[in-house]
Chains A and B, each alone.
Chain A
Amino acid sequence: DAGVTQSPTHLIKTRGQQVTLRCSPKSGHDTVSWYQQALGQGPQFIFQYYEEEERQRGNFPDRFSGHQFPNYSSELNVNALLLGDSALYLCASSLRQIYTEAFFGQGTRLTVV
């Protein structure tokens, strides 16, 4: 049973560019959350998707957007990249109906230069 898988594992982008990160939830899970983890910090909640809609959002600008597909996989898009967007981006999946705790993927390390 595959856990949460994220791609790519590492990515280098230039300031001003756009990036798309991908997440496949754990089998049977229907809810995907995204977190940003800066170096030396705890993860910070970006947003959560359920039934292909954004359900909750943290304190992140509109440059951060997402999408959930019918197969429950999800994408995180970041536009107009800033140096400060460099971080580990974590995807977590859960099953909403039975309020399971989230399983985290290994993350995508984004470096903006």
Chain B
Amino acid sequence: GQQLNQSPQSMFIQEGEDVSMNCTSSSIFNTWLWYKQDPGEGPVLLIALYKAGELTSNGRLTAQFGITRKDSFLNISASIPSDVGIYFCAGRTGGTSYGKLTFGQGTILTVHP
């Protein structure tokens, strides 16, 4: 089945540093999504990408949909303590598979003040 490989698995950074994480797949996706999950909560959508090559920003977050449709990355600039959490990428093939998301394993982000 489809699998998403997300890296790194965890990151420990200082407040103010920039962060990069990425997601790769053996299959093509038509949609890439990035979510953040805090302890005891469900994932919250950060950025949605719908076109190959698309670059989208949401405040200090920037994400790109890879041109091969098999990868995506997320950057966080000038990290702050509230960025702490688990970040997940998710892909969707679309069409009759509308709604079904395939998630990566997550990147655990720790920000030291």
Residues of A within 8 A of B (CB): 4, 31, 33, 35, 40-45, 48, 55-56, 58-59, 90, 92, 94, 96, 99, 101-107
Judge whether B42 is part of the interface by a CB distance below 8 angstroms. yes
CA–CA, A102 and B98, complex, Å? 11
Q: Which of B51-59, B65-73, B99-107 contacts A (4 or more CB under 8 A)?
A: B99-107
Pairwise interchain contact A42-B106, C-beta atoms closer than 8 A: yes
Pairwise interchain contact A48-B99, C-beta atoms closer than 8 A: yes
- Residues on A with C-beta less than 8 A from B35 are 104
Residues of B within 8 A of A (CB): 1, 4, 6, 33, 35, 40-45, 48, 88, 90, 96-106
- Residues on A with C-beta less than 8 A from B105 are 40-42
Known: A55-B99, A56-B97. A105 touches B45 (CB 8 A): no
- Residues on A with C-beta less than 8 A from B4 are 42
A-B contacts, CB under 8 A, total:
60
CA–CA, A102 and B1, complex, Å? 22
Pairwise interchain contact A43-B103, C-beta atoms closer than 8 A: yes
CA–CA, A31 and B99, complex, Å? 9
CA–CA, A41 and B88, complex, Å? 10
CA–CA, A94 and B43, complex, Å? 14
Pairwise interchain contact B43-A43, C-beta atoms closer than 8 A: yes
- 8 smallest beta-carbon distances between A and B, as pairs: A42-B103, A104-B42, A48-B99, A45-B100, A104-B43, A43-B103, A56-B100, A106-B42
CA–CA, A44 and B97, complex, Å? 14
CA–CA, A107 and B6, complex, Å? 23
Kindly identify which residue among A44, A58, A94, A105 contacts B42, using a CB–CB cutoff of 8 Å. Answer: A105
Pairwise interchain contact A101-B45, C-beta atoms closer than 8 A: yes
Residue among B96, B97, B98 with the most chain A CB within 10 A? B98
Known: A42-B88, A42-B106, A59-B1. A102 touches B101 (CB 8 A): yes
Kindly identify which residue among A31, A40, A41, A90 contacts B43, using a CB–CB cutoff of 8 Å. Answer: A90
- Residues on A with C-beta less than 8 A from B103 are 42-44
Give the nearest-CB partner of A47 in chain B. Answer: B100
CB distance from B36 to the nearest CB of A (A): 11
- Residues on B with C-beta less than 8 A from A44 are 103
